[in-house]
Structure 1
Amino acid sequence: MVTPVCAQQDKSIYELGASQEKYKTGGFKPAPENIETNFGKLEFPGGYPTEETAQKVYDELDLRRATQLYLDMYPALSMRGMMIGTARDYSAKDCSHVSVTANRLDSNALFLTGNTESIYAMVLFDLKADGPTVFEAPAGLMGPVNDANFLFLCDIGPTGMDKGKGGKYLILPPGYKGEVPDGYFVFKSPTYRLFSFVRANAEVVGKGEKAMEFFRKNCRVYPLKGGPKDGTFTNVSGMPIDTLVPENATAFEWMHELINYEPAEAFGKEKLGRLASIGIVKGKPFNPDARMKKILEQAAKEGVAMSRVIALESRQPAAQVYPNRKWESPFIGDSSTFDPDGYFNLEARTTFHFTADGITPSMAAQMPDGLGSRYQTTYKDKDGKYLDGNKVYKLNIPAKVPVALFWSIVVYDSWTRCELQSQPYPSISSQSDPAPTVNKDGSIDLYFSNEKPADVSAANWVKTLPDQGFFVYMRYYGPLKAFNEKTWIPNDVELVK
């Protein structure tokens, strides 16, 4: 852990006191009676607030607390969005219902920066309803299990306990006191609800019915108390789903439901206290009056605006991956817990959760060569201008992309942070069929524009939408030494016209 700056130059309280000028009667100067603020003039005649001042202060205090809560609760809200979206739009009825994107995840699905190339399998866990739950995972899967606060519980696959060989994972509910049988990889969850979206390589498990058959034969999820049972497997490719966080006061209704379902310990007294200050109390109804409804609506809008600026116009130096490049890391500081310096980097946390789903160290920290996956994103072209769907851009990918598995480029909508709905799969990868045309030097030129440029192969082009901003993710699956040591560097997106 990094030593705090204060500890490097601290003095005892005695030394601090001795170093200061002694107080003289009348030396304390209170704040002025009238204070100008960005929310109006505040008046304190005789040291007491006027009725108007008190109302202004409480309105502003409630707005500030609610806005900060929108930011702080966003990870949990995003997780709830995925859970409720899967239950509602994919009709998941229990933990044994596995939703599979057997034909890949297309742009009908509103998942934050979803991946078009892998085959996802999504599982909902509710340990309050089911008790300890088993996930039998075969070899060939990889991905995290995240709790209701979108915190990492465990990995499945090569970076998990099974080391890529498959195995039985047993997830225990909060406070579980019962017996724990042998033969499982056991994890204790701090929350009742969890979500897992493991993925498989389409080159290995196939697509469509072949992929569905792989999951039916090899994957099972069930409550421990009932013993092994076959589940329901649904091909959800092409099905519309909305997993996004409400950008209005509904978000605060979600917060109320969240804290009432989960253990208080999952949120902590400080956060529960802030929630209580705006009327969201565990065990009590949430009935905001007209004044508070207006404040909550405004807080959500301001929270979204702040999140958008924090994520898309980062002021974090560690966001930049390479000198003189516009590529940024969604995991600022290469930490999936956002605390590499001994404290939570709040803007790093917002940056990730506003733009992405799925928390695992294997996507954030450098893993041994060939393991894990790493992501980079760019919102701007080489000249620092935001990517614009009205224009034509080129991205040259240098030869020999250093990956053990494959690489992919996916284009996203800057409003929703989901796949750009310009085509079913707004992406190009080393697994694309037909494959993108390769230059004589082994590099590949990709194009992003509303209309395909002349003499450019369709396999090298992603369609954009006019009057619509977009951004680009490049994913590296099984990154190798040249990636990890940054001796291979991607080029920036360049404006053509």
Structure 2
Amino acid sequence: MMVALGDARLSGDEVIETSFGTLRLEHSFPDEASSALLFDQFDVQRAAQAYVWALPLAGFAAWRQRAAETFGVEGFGDFVVYDSLREKRGIVTANLTTPYIINFTNLADGPVLIDYPTGPTAGGVLDFWQRPVVDLGLTGPDGGQGGGYVVLGPGQDAAAFDGSDRTVVRSQTLNVFIAFRVLTQDAQAMAAAKAGLKLSRAGSDPVPVRFIEGVDLEWSATPARGLPFWQDLAAVLEEEPVREVDKGFMAMLEPLGVLKGRPFDPDERQRRILTEGAALGELFVRNLQVNPRYTTPYWADTSWYKLIDFVIEQETENILQIDQRATLFYEAVTTTKGMVHPTPGTGQAYMTAKRDSDGRLLRADRSYRVHVPAEVPVAQFWSLSLYSEDTRRPYDNGGTDIRSVSLDSRDDQLKFNDDGSIDLYIGPTAPQEAAAANWMKTSGQDGWFVYFRLYAPTEPFFDKTWTLPDIHVV
């Protein structure tokens, strides 16, 4: 007689029906076929959970590798400037309103010294779990006035910098990410920021900083699917020390062929399990992305969520915030103190929506209106950017300029209402002629979502006296 798994005695002779197949116990032991089936299920579940855990690390590893290939990154002092739509369209949920200036480097050869420029910038140094090591610019120790920083790697001695006028910080990973944005469209501010940036190894003179710009190629930093995801992960795990908090997941990966100190060379069964586990893990996270069960909407009775809903350390006294950070790092990259914990007048607030006012998931074949009330609470500006659910990168609708997928309050082509509010449109066809300048196009079956960014949000955002209404079907 066959029984459901929940009704099984797990004793004697028994046939058990499960969601993944039929198991047979003989004198309480699983038979040979059941043993193989249980190991497969065991390992697929482990691979799926490891995918969820690994997203921040794998995301940075993919970005570093694909950027090096696309932009010709060669040296320690190379910074890529991402400015055009095609350059930014490679980055997962890239900010489309200001250029990025970005460097990936490694601390294995010693601490890195940064001379950071004065000016209206936002940036930071991040470890490879995408945790802030230190903010740079307006939300950092220099407060926009420029300054010197020392970035130490795991175990590196800080004594040499005692009494230094530099801010000394430590990364938990050897690989680090150094990046900033200039928060103005003033070309002189950008030139000054580039001129004032210096990078050096401890005990050495600054190296020439090379800004790689004007490449204007299509590319992708979206983490790979299937076996290539694990190849990227295995490579970066080999470069890094294992943190205490991650040892459990390293144990899960070992039977799957991802083992520190050994080449990644999975056998046929491991390849099958890893490929299935990556697909299942991605579906787990995508479900969390649209149904984040650990939080509630930021504004009551809306579908707008605060994008970054965890602490910058990614762990509390009791838990590693795996679900919270996976939701973000599936669809985005990087965190800084100013992004995670903005305060009135500084930092940035990121809001996201995946459903309309009736609670239905957004579709590419419907037209929608986003009504932005007057007096958006920002000291700088706001923007609404459109992203693909498939790639999580800026939406590819055939447009060739940034405003085809991102509209912001500094855009002199936008048409505002008489009361200062504005209606923005998203859908496959343009609205009436007067509003066409306020429209972003969707196409085919490429589902989408948006980020509404508030730069230097002010008090009405924090006390919620200003509210962004839900997205409405037109």
Q: Flag whether TM exceeds 0.5 (same fold).
A: yes
Residue 38 of structure 1 pairs with residue 19 of structure 2:
yes
One-letter identity of the residue aligned with 2:340 = A
After TM superposition, the score normalised by the length of structure 2 is 0.91
1:170 and 2:150 equivalent?
A: yes
Shift of 1:495: 0.9
Aligned ranges 1:56-455 → 2 under 5 Å: 56-101=37-82, 103-104=83-84, 106=86, 109-128=89-108, 130-139=109-118, 140-177=120-157, 179-181=159-161, 182-203=164-185, 205-206=186-187, 213-236=191-214, 238-265=216-243, 268-316=246-294, 318-332=295-309, 335-339=311-315, 342-367=318-343, 369-422=344-397, 423=399, 424-425=401-402, 426-432=405-411, 434-455=412-433
- Whether the 8 Å contact between 2:88 and 2:96 is mirrored in structure 1 is no
CA deviation after TM superposition for structure 1 residue 78, in Å? 0.7
Instruction: Tell me the secondary structure at the aligned position of residue 279 of structure 2.
Output: helix
Aligned CA distance change for structure 1 residues 136 and 150 (closer, same or farther; 3 Å): same
What root-mean-square deviation, in Å, do the aligned CA atoms of Structure 1 and Structure 2 show?
Answer: 2.1
With over 3 angstroms needed to count, the CA separation of the structure-2 counterparts of 1:45 and 1:124, relative to structure 1, is same
1:422-455 Cα deviation digits (max 9, x unpaired): 22321110111x3411111110111112222123
Conserved 8 A contact 2:150-2:169:
yes
- Cα deviation per residue 1:372-406 (whole Å; 9 max; x = unaligned)? 10000111111122222222211111001010111
In structure 2, runs of 5+ residues without a counterpart are 1-8
In the alignment, the residues of structure 2 paired with residue 370 and residue 328 of structure 1 have an alpha-carbon distance, to the nearest angstrom, of: 21
Residue 491 of structure 1 pairs with residue 469 of structure 2 = yes
User: Structure 1's 198 and 105: CA in aligned 2 closer, same or farther, altered over 3 A?
Assistant: farther
| Structure 2 letter corresponding to 1:221 | L
Judge conservation of contact 2:222–2:392 (CA < 8 Å) in 1.
no
| d(CA) in 2 for partners of 1:33, 1:158 | 68
Measured at CA, do residues 395 and 107 of structure 1 come closer, stay the same or move farther in structure 2, by a change above 3 Å? farther
| Structure-2 separation of matches of 1:236 and 1:95 | 20
State the SS of the aligned residue for 1:73.
helix
Deviation at 1:486, TM superposition (A): 0.4
Q: Is 1:407–1:430's contact at 8 Å kept on the other side of the alignment?
A: yes
In the alignment, the residues of structure 2 paired with residue 407 and residue 48 of structure 1 have an alpha-carbon distance, to the nearest angstrom, of 62
Q: Are the aligned partners of 1:132 and 1:172 in contact in 2 as well (CA < 8 Å)? A: yes
CA deviation after TM superposition for structure 1 residue 267, in Å: 6.2
Q: Residue 203 of structure 2: SS of its match in structure 1?
A: helix
SS of equivalent residue, structure 1 residue 180: helix
Verify the 8 A CA contact 2:87 2:215 in the aligned structure 1.
no
Once the two structures are TM-superposed, the CA of residue 341 in structure 1 deviates from its matched residue by 7.9
The answer (yes or no) to whether the contact 1:428–1:459 under 8 Å persists in 2 is no
In structure 2, how many angstroms separate the alpha carbons of the residues matched to 1:298 and 1:155? Answer: 38
Contact 1:104/1:118 (CA < 8 Å) preserved in 2? Answer: no
**Following the alignment from structure 1 to structure 2, what is the Cα–Cα distance between the partners of residues 46 and 405?**
71
SS in 1 for 2:160: coil
Report the CA distance shift for 1:227/1:266 in structure 2 as closer, same or farther (over 3 A): farther
Does 301-310 or 338-347 show the bigger shift? 338-347
Question: How many Å separate the matches in 2 of 1:31 and 1:377?
Answer: 50
Contact 2:87 2:217 in 1 (8 A): no
Check the 8 A contact 2:222/2:393 in 1, yes or no.
no
Structure 1: stretches of 5+ with no match in the other structure: 1-28
| CA 322–32 in structure 1, closer or farther in 2 if over 3 Å, else same | farther
One-letter amino acid matched to 2:407:
I
Instruction: Provide Cα deviations, 1:250-290, integer angstroms capped at 9, x if missing partner.
Output: 11122221221111337642222122122221111222111
TM-score (norm 1): 0.87
Q: What is the identity percentage for the equivalent residue pairs of Structure 1 and Structure 2? A: 27
> Paired residues, what number?
458
Secondary structure at 2:305 match in 1: coil
Counterparts of 1:248 and 1:275 in 2: how far apart (Å)?
Answer: 15
Aligned to 1:10: none
In 2, Cα distance between equivalents of 1:87 and 1:266: 30
Contact 2:369/2:425, CA 8 A, preserved across alignment: yes
Instruction: Provide Cα deviations, 1:188-247, integer angstroms capped at 9, x if missing partner.
Output: 1111101122111133x43xxx57633431112222332123210121563323211111
**Do 1:141 and 1:199's aligned partners in 2 also have CA atoms closer than 8 Å?**
yes
Q: CA deviation at 1:340?
A: 5.9
Work out which of the two has the higher radius of gyration on C-alpha atoms and give 1 or 2.
1
* Structure 1 residue 420 displacement after superposition: 0.5
